[in-house]
Structure 1
C-alpha cells in the first residue's frame, strides 16, 4: 500500500518573512509540517503540486525544500502558473525532483506540466509534446493502476473567476483518459480549496493551500473566512493494491496558526 502526501500552492515569497495575502507563507508551511510530523504516520511520497513559490528565484525553492525536509519523504514537484521552472531546476541539486514518472508498489503516478500557453491571468495548458508523452506512458503499462498529477484543475468548479483560469485544453486530456481505463483518478492544486470533482468519469481531487484558502462558488475572488476551512491544509491518499484510492483531508487546527 502506498501513502501519498500532497502539499500545494505554498506561495513562498522571494524573501522569508514577506506576506502572501496577509499571512506569512513560510511560517504557515513550517507549522503545517511540524503538525504532520507529530500527528500522522509516515508517508511514502510527497507531491508538491505547483505555485510553490510566488515568482521567486532558486533561493526560495531551496527554502521550501529545507522546510519540508523534516518529513523525510521522497519529494516530487511540478510547476504552477506562479512558478519559475528554470529556478526550480537550479534548486534541484539532486536532479530527481522533476522526475515525471513515479512507480510505487503496483501503482504508476504520471506528473504533468500544465503551464504551457499561459494567458497572463493564471490559466495554463498541456503542450502538444506533454500530451504525446502522456499518451505513450499510458500505453506502456495498461495493467498498472495510474494517477495523473497536474497543477491546473481540468474541470469547472462553479467559481466563475476560477473557471476562467482552469486547464485550457482539458478536452485533449479527457480524450486520453477516456481511452485509458487504468487511470483511476486525477490530483490537482491551483484551487486553494478542498474539492472532490469528476473528470472524464474519474474522481478529481484538489488540495487546499498551505497558506490561504479561496472561497468556493464565487463570481469574483474572495478569501475563505470560515475558521473551519480557512487554515493551511493538505491532502493525503492511500493507494490500495487493487486500484482503489482513499483520499483524506488535513486542516491545521486554528489554534496552531497564530
Structure 2
C-alpha cells in the first residue's frame, strides 16, 4: 500500500452558501457556523491535507464580505486552496477577492504526480450548468499536453443524473459533450462535483465520479420535488495515489444540524 505521505490528500468542501451578514441564516441554518465547524472537524481528524478544494456555491447571494469570510477562515489553516464557481457565485468577484498565493481560483494545478483541472459550469442567472466551448477547449488542451498525467477534473454541476428528478433538471446541460472529451483521455481518473447537496459515487468506464454533500443543509436523495434532508453537514476526503488509485470517504459533522426549516419549498 502506498504510504499516506506519498498520496495527494485533498479536502473537498462544497456549497458553503456563506451569507454577507454575520449571524444571518438560510433555511434556518447559520451557514457560516457550520462552515467553520466542518473545517475544524476535518483538521482535527486529519492534519495532513495537501490541498483544499471548494467546489462552488461559496456564497448564497455573492458579496465581497462572503468571500472575505471564506478567505479569512481558509487561510488560517495554511493549506493551498482552489475555488471554483457555482450557480450562486459571482466568478469575477471571486477571482478578485480569492486571489492570494494560498487561496485562489487557479484552473490547473500539478501536485504529487496529479494534474487538477477546474472548470466553470455556471450559466449566469440560472441554476443549471453548461460547459461552453472555451471550457471544453481548455480541458482538451490540458489533457493533450499532459497525456501521461493522472488527472482529477473538478466542476460544480453534476455530469451524471442523481435520481432526484428536480435536481437532475440542473445538471450540466451538455454533459454528453463533456463526457465525450473525458472518455478520449484515459489519464482522467476522477471527476468531483458539488451542487447536489448529497453524496454520489458512480463509475463511468474507468472514471470515478463523486458528488459531495454540503457544509450546511442537504437535499433528500431520490426525491421528485425539492426536499430537504436533516442529515448533518459533511466534507469529503480524497487520497489520490501515484498509480491512479483513489481512496475517498465522506465524513459527517459529529453534531446534529439545528434549525433547518424542512417545510420550505425552495431557497
When normalised by structure 1's length, the TM-score is 0.93
**Distance in 1 between residues matched to 2:99 and 2:210, nearest whole Å:** 30
**Shift in Å, 1:36:** 1.8
* Higher mean C-alpha displacement, 77-86 vs 92-101: 92-101
**Distance in 2 between residues matched to 1:181 and 1:34, nearest whole Å:** 36
Gaps of 5+ in 1: none
Label 1:147 to 1:93 Cα distance change in 2 as closer, same or farther (>3 A).
Answer: closer
User: Which residue matches 2:45?
Assistant: 39
* Higher mean C-alpha displacement, 105-114 vs 195-204: 195-204
**Shift in Å, 1:168:** 0.8
User: Which residue matches 1:209?
Assistant: 214
1:154 and 2:155 aligned: no
1:72 and 2:78 aligned: yes
Secondary structure of the residue aligned to 1:164 is helix
Q: Select 1:170's aligned residue among 175, 190, 194.
A: 175
1:124 and 2:125 aligned: no
**Distance in 2 between residues matched to 1:159 and 1:119, nearest whole Å:** 22
Gaps of 5+ in 2: 1-6, 260-267
User: Which residue matches 2:100?
Assistant: 94
Label 1:103 to 1:29 Cα distance change in 2 as closer, same or farther (>3 A).
Answer: same
**Distance in 2 between residues matched to 1:222 and 1:5, nearest whole Å:** 27
Q: Select 1:103's aligned residue among 98, 105, 110.
A: 110
* RMSD across aligned positions (CA): 1.7
1:25-47 Cα deviation digits (max 9, x unpaired)? 01111111121222223200000
**Distance in 1 between residues matched to 2:68 and 2:106, nearest whole Å:** 17
**Distance in 2 between residues matched to 1:254 and 1:175, nearest whole Å:** 41
**Runs of 4+ more than 4 Å apart:** 255-258
Number of equivalent positions: 252
Contact persistence 1:29–1:211 (CA under 8 A) = yes
